[in-house]
Amino acid sequence: MSDLLQQLDAVLASRKRAGDADSSYVASLHAKGLNKILEKVGEEATEVILAAKDAENGGDRQALIAETADLWFHSLVMLSHLGADSQDVLRELGRRFGLSGLEEKAARSNND
Ligand SMILES: N=c1c2ncn([C@@H]3O[C@H](COP(=O)(O)OP(=O)(O)OP(=O)(O)O)[C@@H](O)[C@H]3O)c2ncn1[C@@H]1O[C@H](COP(=O)(O)O)[C@@H](O)[C@H]1O
């Protein structure tokens, strides 16, 4: 599925380079600028939280999945706007793989 992320990265980069804001949602976000993109990331994060609470109470898990997809998507648009992409994040997650979050955090305080 990482290939899908790479394909999406390429589409987002092409919309940033030469997208038409009148026919492309992504190009319209790039044209509006980083603050608009960040507003959407914040909005979608809130919608994920609300959908998660709803799912905890027996609500619609598909709605949670859809809102999480919205958050991932808008985060990818943000990364694209700032010259990064999904592979940068996957590389960082790979670097952390197998390292306990508790050990990683303790190591930070030992080095501080
Ligand atoms: N994956 C997505 C994707 N996910 C969500 N969205 C859009 O993000 C917008 C979210 O806006 P809103 O939050 O206002 O709407 P909403 O989330 O449906 O409604 P609420 O949850 O807020 O109530 C909607 O217009 C969605 O269609 C996306 N738009 C585009 N993509 C991908 O980006 C590609 C390029 O898109 P265009 O640049 O529009 O061609 C597409 O081919 C897709 O692969």
The per-residue pLDDT string of the chain (112 residues; one tens digit each, 9 = 90 and over) reads 669 999 999 999 999 998 899 999 999 999 999 999 999 999 999 999 999 999 999 999 999 999 999 999 999 999 999 999 999 999 999 999 988 889 888 888 777 7
Q: Find the DSSP H helices in the chain.
A: 2-18, 25-32, 34-56, 61-81, 86-96, 101-111
Select from 3.60.15.10, 3.40.50.300, 2.40.160.10, 1.10.287.1080 the CATH code of 1-110.
1.10.287.1080
Q: Please check whether residue 17 is in contact with residue 81, taking contact to mean a CB–CB distance below 8 angstroms.
A: no
Query: CB-based burial of residue 37 (10 Å sphere; 0-12 exposed, 13-18 middle, 19+ buried)?
Result: buried
Task: List ligand 1's pocket residues with C-beta within 6 A.
Answer: 8, 11, 15, 19, 24-27, 47, 70, 73
CB neighbours (10 Å) of residue 62? 10
Q: What number of CA atoms fall less than 13 Å from residue 19's CA on the CB side?
A: 21
Altogether, the residues listed in the chain come to a count of 112
Query: Which residue is closest in CA terms to ligand 1's atom 29?
Result: 25
The pTM of this model reads 0.92
How many angstroms does the Cα of residue 24 sit away from the middle of ligand 1?
A: 10
What pLDDT was estimated at residue 2? 67
**Model ipTM value:** 0.89
Query: Which residue is closest in CA terms to ligand 1's atom 10?
Result: 70
